[in-house]
Every structure is written in structure tokens, then in C-alpha cells.
Amino acid sequence: MNAEDPPQGPRSLVTGATGYIGGRLVPELLTAGHRVRCLARSPGKLRDQPWAGEVEVVRGDVTDQASVAAAMEGVDVAYYLVHALASGRGFEDTDRRAARIFATAARTAGVRRVVYLGGLTPAGIPESELSPHLRSRTEVGRILLDSGVPTAVLRAAVIIGSGSASFEMLRYLTERLPVMVTPSWVHTRIQPIAVRDVLRTLVGCAELPAEVSRVFDIGGPEVLTYRDMMLRYARVAGLGRRIVVPVPLFTPGLSSHWVGLVTPVPASIARPLAESLRHEVVCHEHDIARYVPDPPGHPLGFDEAVRLALLRVRDAQVTTRWSNAAVPGAPSDPLPTDPDWAGGSLYTDRRELAVPASAEALWRVIEGIGGENGWYSFPLAWAARGWLDRLVGGVGLRRGRRDAHRLRVGDSLDFWRVEEIEPGRLLRLRAEMRLPGLAWLEMYAEPDGEGRSRYRQRALFHPRGLFGHAYWWGVSPFHAVVFGGMARNIARAAAAHRVPSPPAVESAP
């Protein structure tokens, strides 16, 4: 190595990089100077990650001894972040076999540290009485500790962050049900933890002294019941007061079906989570702080963790949250690999049309929308919506637009605000009318070859509470007229060149 070259950081293997924690851990390790290798059954799932070009991705499966052994070559720290939670019957056998393969491969390869994230278990309850989910996670931790490789087993309860299955279940239950008839486990005491603190601790464990090989409990600063968490989530999210009525007749099986009816979280995940919630999960110690000190303000409290999890939606970063077009920038942000049911509800109305005109002509129509030019569909409906908005204290349609031909980010546009503009391609508007949720309207102009173009339009609505869902379904029958007519008329206007070109801007002499 050249004397001027910076020292290379540890080589870290991350399993589960396509999962919730693994996908967020990789960029944190890169920031900390690690050289990262990811073991993935489907490497293609990682290609859209912003860090894909900075890591080594190898194809393999934790139940395949040969691929795990190959992935372990030259590794200093191995992160075990996989489990067979949604694999149905036999998942305990699968977890057991995979952990043994991983432990053996780590010992054979001379790995100096294994780090595993498991589940927090209640004190004083025999392992045989734990839920299958917690029992399996406990067994995996024990197998890794017995590997002969120094191992840190971190045990966490509910992780607060957009995309976490536990958090998504909490989100949907609270947002969709102002009055809840719930299982008795809503009175179970839980010590939740922010995903940022989980990731900070996982990274710090890479530097634990070699003699440290043990279990650590990790949690936030508060112990809450599940009911407390629902009520506080509602307050942070700006929802109305929630009424929670526990019913002791709900079995774990019935609980999972209830969760499945109310939320999009799959039953295969909801059931083990619901079963685990019958146990109190509170930290017995905070010894990890001796080795990975808490920075000022950490661990984060529940309300702050929820606020960060909701931040992207509040800031209206639609493409960051619901598509792969933008790059997530914080542990609380969603990732391309997050499941479709994560992140809260988002209703979408999509329209797409071929336009017999150039993309430039189509863009002139898009950029000229609103104000004197109107909204290209059912003027009476738009006017009625504006009057209604004024009636309830909103801005209505009275604001018009700053310039008849050009728009810029931040401009008001009737009862919309220009949130994003890519000249010639994209206009994104955020609704500022009074709504039970957040709404956006996106319009795209795309070249389609031979002087033609394609118009794409998306209306998006993120409901707030049950009334938000009712609002969307109440107005959706009119979308074909309003949004469908809008798309057709914009395409016709572009084809007919009915919108004048903006005046030329003279260059300075």
C-alpha cells in the first residue's frame, strides 16, 4: 500500500441487504469507512440502490453452505440480518439451519466479529412459552454465540421507522380506525426504539473488543403500552383522538386476521408479530452504552422517532417515498426494496396518452395550465371545488398564477403550489386546498419518436385518518370526468397548438 493511501476499513458482510434493516445498514457502514459485501438471493433487487456501485454483491442464500462460505472469504465483520418470518410452517427449522451454516462459515473463514439483530424477550418466561417468532430468534442468537466467533446479539422490540413491519402495523391500525375494538395485547408494555439508534448500534458493534461476546438489549428511553403508542402516533400524525376498546376474546389467530382486514400487512407477517405482542418486551439492561456510547439526544424518544418516520410524507417528497426516482437520504426514509404495503396508504389515479405533437408543444400546454387557461376539464367542477375550498377557509381558485407562460418552484397556481419542475419534462403540484390528507398532481411530457410525444398524468392522495379514505372513495367516481377529461384535453390542445409560445427572452448585449 502506498504510504499516502488512506487505511482501508474493515470488510463487512451484510446478509439481508434487500430487507428493512440490511438495506439501511449498508450506507451507514459505507459512511463509517467499511468495505461492504452483500449476500443476496436476488442481486437484481439491489441495482436501484444509490450505493449499489460502492459495494460488492454476491449471489447466494444463507441456507446454501457453499455460497455462504464463499461470501465469508476475507471478511472481518459478518452481519446476520435474515430470518424466515414469512416462510410459513417450518420457519424455525429454516432459521436453525441457516444460523448453523452461517456460524460454521464465519468460524472457518476467521471472521473476527458476528453481529446479529434479534428480538427482545420477556424476563422470567421459559423459552418454550415464547411465541414461535421470539423463540426462533432466541435460538438463532444462541447458535451464533456458540460459534466460537465473538458475537454481539442485539435484542430489540418494536423498531420505529417507515418500512418496519411493526411500525407499519401500528401506522395502519391507528390511521384507519378512529374507534378500535382491539386484542388485549394493547396493554402489553413495550420499549420501542428508533431505527436510527438500531443502525448506530449495529455499526458500533463492529469495533467491540474481541473478548465481548454476549447478548445486549437495546431500546428507546420510554416504556409504553401498545395503546399508548397508538394514541401518541395519532397525536404526532395530526389525527383525531382515537378510542381503544380492548376485548380479551381475541386469540393470536383472530388478531392476525383482524390486522389483515384493517391493514395491508400480509397475514404471514402479521400473525407472528401479533403473537409476540402478548409478551412484555422491556430492556433488562443498557450495557451496550459502555461500548457504543449514546450521543447527545439519543436514544430518540418515541414521538421524535415517529416524526422522523413520517417526515418524508409531511415534506411531500412523493418520488422519494413512492417511486425509485429519488435517493433516500436518511435511515427513516423508504427504500426501493421496501414492500409495497410499507409507507402508509397512497391512492393514485394514472392517465397516459399518445400525443400527435412534439414534446415541446405538449410542455407548453402543461406549463401554461391554470389561471386564465384553466384546467382543461369540466370547468364547473373545478369552480365548485374552489368555492367549496373558500367556504371552509381555504385559498380557493382566486390566486391564479404569477406568470402567464412560465412557472418556477414555489409559485402558487390557483389552489396548488409548484413543488417540482423539470423544464420540458415534469411539473409536480402540491395541493393547498383544504383536504383530509396530502395530494399531488404530476404531469409529464415525454418524446415518443418521429416528432410525437406521450403525456403521463398522476394524481396522488395520501389520506389522513378514516375520513381521508372516505374522501378518496367518495370523489373517485368523478375522476374519469375530471382527470380523464383533463388528460384528453391537454393532449388535444398540444396537437392543435392552441397555447401560444412564451415570448422570447432577449439576451443581454
Question: pLDDT tens across 143-153, in order?
Answer: 999 999 999 99
Inform me whether the pLDDT recorded for 328 exceeds 80: no
Q: Which is more confidently placed, 238 or 69?
A: 69
Of 466, 474, 437, which Cα lies nearest the Cα of 175? Answer: 466
- In the chain, the N- to C-terminal Cα span, in Å, equals 56
Question: What does the pLDDT read at residue 329?
Answer: 43
Cell representation of residue 380? 364547473
Least reliable range by pLDDT among 35-39, 60-64, 496-500: 496-500
- What sign does the CA torsion over 184, 187, 191, 194 have? positive
Of 419, 407, 484, 497, which Cα lies nearest the Cα of 453? Answer: 497
Highest mean pLDDT among 130-139, 191-200, 336-345, 480-489: 191-200
Q: Residue 164, SS3?
A: coil
Contacts of 112 (CB under 8 A, 6+ apart): 76, 77, 149, 150, 210
Inform me whether the pLDDT recorded for 81 exceeds 80: yes
Specify the DSSP element, H or E, that contains 303: helix 302-314
Least reliable range by pLDDT among 11-15, 106-110, 410-414: 410-414
* Domains in the chain: ranges and CATH: 11-322 (3.40.50.720), 347-496 (3.30.530.20)
Q: What is the DSSP string of 368-406?
A: T-SGGG--SS-HHHHHHHHHHHHHTT--TTTT-BS-SS-
Q: What predicted TM-score, i.e. pTM, was given to this entire model?
A: 0.69
The contacts found for 131-136 with CB under 8 angstroms, 24 or more apart, are 131/252, 131/272, 131/275, 131/276, 131/278, 131/279, 132/91, 132/92, 132/272, 132/275, 133/85, 133/272, 133/273, 133/275, 133/276, 134/276, 134/279, 135/92, 136/83, 136/84, 136/91, 136/92, 136/95, 136/96
Q: Residue 260, SS3?
A: helix
Specify the DSSP element, H or E, that contains 437: strand 437-449
Question: pLDDT tens across 20-42, in order?
Answer: 899 999 999 999 999 999 999 88
